[in-house]
Amino acid sequence: MKFNNIKLAAIALLVSFSAYNCSDDDDTPTGPTGPNFTGTYAQEDQMGRPAINTVFVDMEDKDAFNTTIPSNQNAAFQSKFEAKLLALNPGYTTNALTWDAPTFTGALATDVLTVSLTGTTTFFDGTNVLTGRALADDVISTELLLIFGGPMGTDNPGLSDDNVDSNDKAFLTSFPYLATPH
């Protein structure tokens, strides 16, 4: 009997406590609210130029490359990029941009895409180099040429072009420019 009384009292206390909590919630404004954009978002992936992480970064460094801010990438990765370049092409001297291995890998290690605001925007169109990236640009063949092609772009012809020169769907001339999905 006594024990039951204690139990009842405990339940009453619990109920009043949770009821109080419930009513406390009502202090927050209710009614229509917009989407919730609060919180902290932590970096997982990043990208500037095409294929940099995939070609130049060793497997054990790939996550680290994605979470190193661009202004710190050169110090962290340039020498590793140079070693990777010389592993891919042991005969590398300079490329079609006349860049030696430290210059080329120094440019690539800071993985940002430079975009012209005053003229043609292309990764490479035969005339303009690294002034943006348009949808139809054959960026992989450009990079292969710079890695394997040597100073005249004529070395290692079997490695300097993947022989896929265009997309499988035509792009649009107007926004949103990308082709409809398959």
Partner 1 sequence: MKKSKILIGAAVLTIAGFFAIAADHIDAPAVAGGTSDITDIYAFQGEDNNNIVFVANVQGLISPADTDAAAFDENVLIEFNIDNDLDAVADLVIQATPRDGKMYFFGPIAPSQSGLNSTILSSSATMNDVDITAYGANAIVETNNGMSFFAGPRDDPFFMDFFRYGDIIAGDETMFSDPGTDTFAGTNVMSIVVELPKAMVGSGDSVNIWVESKRKQ
- Alpha carbon 32 to its chain centroid, in Å, reads 36
Of positions 93, 120, 129, 154, contacts partner 1 by CB under 8 A: 120
Q: Which stretch binds partner 1 (CB under 8 A): 2-10, 22-30, 97-105, 156-164?
A: 156-164
Residue 51 · residue 143 · CB < 8 Å: yes
Q: For partner 1, give the closer residue by CB, 11 or 51.
A: 51
Residues 22-61 that bind partner 1 (CB under 8 A): 35-48, 50-55, 57, 59
What sign results for the dihedral spanned by CA atoms 172, 176, 178, 181? negative
Q: What's the closest the beta carbon of residue 24 comes to partner 1, in angstroms? A: 26
Of positions 18, 67, 93, 154, contacts partner 1 by CB under 8 A: 67
Of positions 76, 139, 153, 155, contacts partner 1 by CB under 8 A: 139
Residue 107 · residue 157 · CB < 8 Å: no
Residue 80 · residue 129 · CB < 8 Å: no
Helices 139-148, 70-88: crossing angle, 10 deg rounding: 60
Collapsing DSSP states into helix, strand and coil, what is residue 6? helix
Q: What's the closest the beta carbon of residue 137 comes to partner 1, in angstroms? A: 9
Residues 90-119 that bind partner 1 (CB under 8 A): 110-118
